[in-house]
Amino acid sequence: MKIDLSDKIALVTGGSGDLGRVICRTLAGCGAKVAIQYHHNAGKADSLVAEIRDQGAQAMAIQCDVTEQGSIDRMRNAIVQGLGEVDILVNSAVIQYEPKKPVLEQSLSDYEGQFRSCVLQNVLMAQIFAPAMISRRWGRIIGINTECVMLYNELHSAYVAGKRGMDGVLRVLAKEIGVHQITVNQIAPGFMISDRDRALDRLSIPWYEEHVPLRRRGEDQDVANAVAFLSSDLAAFITGAILPVCGGHIMPAI
């Protein structure tokens, strides 16, 4: 049994980011053609395209503001012309903001940014890319959420609010388009090890790991593996789910 996405086209938003790059490499390694969305990191996106092509897979990079409908429309047109209609949509992009403050002090613009990049992104991407999936009666929509939605950590109110809004949109969407054999799922990573951590030699964080049942941090590849699984026919009867990839740090209950 293996994951074969050789006849699929995947779009990863935030594809030039730390987590997005590994997701793109993994989907390409499963045979998918990959469209890499970036906002500012053109150099990283182009480098990733070259890397994937060197491995014998097809890829392209597209600049897009995933909070603006016109920009997403232009991205879709470019992907259709360059690769074809998108089968697998991975929404990973999010606006970063600092500093994180208590609710009473956090800037309203930070809440607005999280709403736009977590909620509106998922709404707009579905409105623009799901109709073609519906016509083919096959599609995968995967949102990258976070364990923070169930931890409610201090100073993270804007991030948690945006990601919980995203959760609501995607669960409703799963019910609305499931009849067309399109699955809609989410992945909730923990505090994963990324290339940034490797560069800083920050592989272990004891204060975090002591609360994780597996007593260690996971890696970006663990998240990418979950994306590949949910993208495949192995997960054809899974929809409306949120899959924690966090070593048991959160355990959603029934």
The CATH number of the domain where 41 resides is what?
3.40.50.720
* Residue 4 covered by a domain: no
* Residue 3 covered by a domain: no
State yes or no: is 97 an active-site residue.
Answer: no
DSSP state of 12: E
One-letter amino acid at 66 equals: V
* Residue 182 covered by a domain: yes
Instruction: List Cβ neighbours of 97 (8 Å cut-off, separation of 6 or more).
Output: 110, 113, 114, 158, 159
* Residue 253 covered by a domain: no
Q: How many domains does the chain have?
A: 1
* Residue 2 covered by a domain: no
* Residue 37 covered by a domain: yes
SS3 11: strand
Catalytic residue among 97, 152, 159, 208: 159
The H or E element spanning position 207 is helix 206-209
Instruction: List Cβ neighbours of 195 (8 Å cut-off, separation of 6 or more).
Output: 18, 21, 220
Q: Is the pTM of this model over 0.85?
A: yes
* Residue 177 covered by a domain: yes
Structural domain span for residue 37: 9-244
Q: One digit per residue, pLDDT tens: the chain, 254 residues? A: 789 999 999 999 999 999 999 999 999 999 999 999 999 999 999 999 999 999 999 999 999 999 999 999 999 999 999 999 999 999 999 999 999 999 999 999 999 999 999 999 999 999 999 999 999 999 999 999 999 999 999 999 999 999 999 999 999 999 999 999 999 999 999 999 999 999 999 999 999 999 999 999 999 999 999 999 999 999 999 999 999 999 999 999 88
Q: How many residues does the chain have?
A: 254
Q: Centre a 10 Å sphere on the Cβ of residue 200 and count the other Cβ atoms it contains.
A: 8
